[in-house]
Homo-oligomer: A and B are copies of this chain.
């Protein structure tokens, strides 16, 4: 992942990557003691296997389509759709099309 983290007042580009998507890697955009924001790039067919993190998260689909598995359900997230998950809820993400998603994670004192 890219290691430049935004500081307070600095603009962060979270526009669609479009044709650049398949040449772009996932990027950590912001990381503070309490908050982490990253863009996960998922070319079609790629997935994030089931896992969980201690803190609450929001997952916002920036472009493309992903299937998100959590709470025993599969849901489709398209561009402009977001999903919230409590801390410690297992989830997996599978890219049905070239996709990028913005993840906002509340970090916990235990390192999440």
Contact = CB atoms under 8 A, between A and B. Distances in A.
Given A9-B70, A77-B11, A56 B35 contact: yes
A58 B30 contact: yes
A15 interface: yes
A30 B80 contact: no
Report which residue of A9, A10, A30, A37 has the largest number of chain B beta carbons within 10 angstroms of its beta carbon: A9
23 contacts: A6-B84, A8-B89, A9-B73, A9-B75, A9-B85, A9-B89, A11-B75, A11-B81, A12-B81, A12-B82, A12-B84, A13-B82, A14-B60, A14-B81, A15-B79, A32-B56, A34-B56, A34-B106, A35-B58, A37-B58, A58-B104, A62-B80, A106-B106
